[in-house]
């Protein structure tokens, strides 16, 4: 049964993961100053450059997932980005106990998203993708 669902599930995986990253990336572009301010608030160096990189990774990575082009690379890039960002922006262990819960949930949500991205990187975009069309040639 799952073999027949492999391609639709791969497509659903790509679209659902892109639904998380594309609006975030567009939000970083449309609210660029706020993004720079938020990055500054956690003490990262070169916040303007970091904001531009974050927006590019999220928007371009999402588009790659949607169309299934360069999917494995895009999934790896998004996985790395997500995991690294989690340690800076959801560092629940640095908060007082009464403030940890939400950041801990966000941190582990991102760990789960990273797992999904790594699975996509491992198994590829599926037959319903531009990657598959290019390999058929």
* Residue 16, number of CB atoms within 10 A of its CB: 12
pLDDT in tens, 30-84: 999 999 999 999 999 999 999 999 999 999 999 999 999 999 999 999 999 999 9
pLDDT in tens, 90-113: 999 999 999 999 999 999 999 999
Q: Determine contact, residues 129/67, Cβ cutoff 8 Å.
A: yes
Among candidates 69, 62, 73, 79, which has minimal Cα distance to 113? 79
Residues 6+ apart with CB under 8 A from 50: 39, 44
Lookup result for tokens 């949500």:
109
């Amino acid at each position: 049964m799952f073999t027949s669902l492999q391609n639709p599930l791969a497509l659903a995986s790509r679209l659902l993961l892109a639904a998380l990253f594309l609006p975030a990336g567009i939000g970083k572009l449309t609210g660029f100053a706020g993004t720079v301010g938020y990055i500054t608030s956690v003490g990262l160096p070169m916040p303007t450059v970091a904001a531009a990189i974050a927006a590019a990774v999220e928007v371009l990575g999402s588009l790659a997932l949607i169309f299934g082009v360069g999917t494995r690379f895009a999934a790896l890039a998004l996985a790395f980005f997500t995991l690294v960002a989690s340690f800076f922006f959801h560092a629940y262990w640095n908060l007082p106990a009464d403030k940890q819960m939400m950041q801990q949930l966000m941190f582990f949500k991102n760990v789960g998203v990273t797992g999904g991205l790594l699975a996509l990187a491992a198994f590829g975009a599926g037959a319903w993708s531009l990657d598959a069309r290019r390999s058929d040639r």
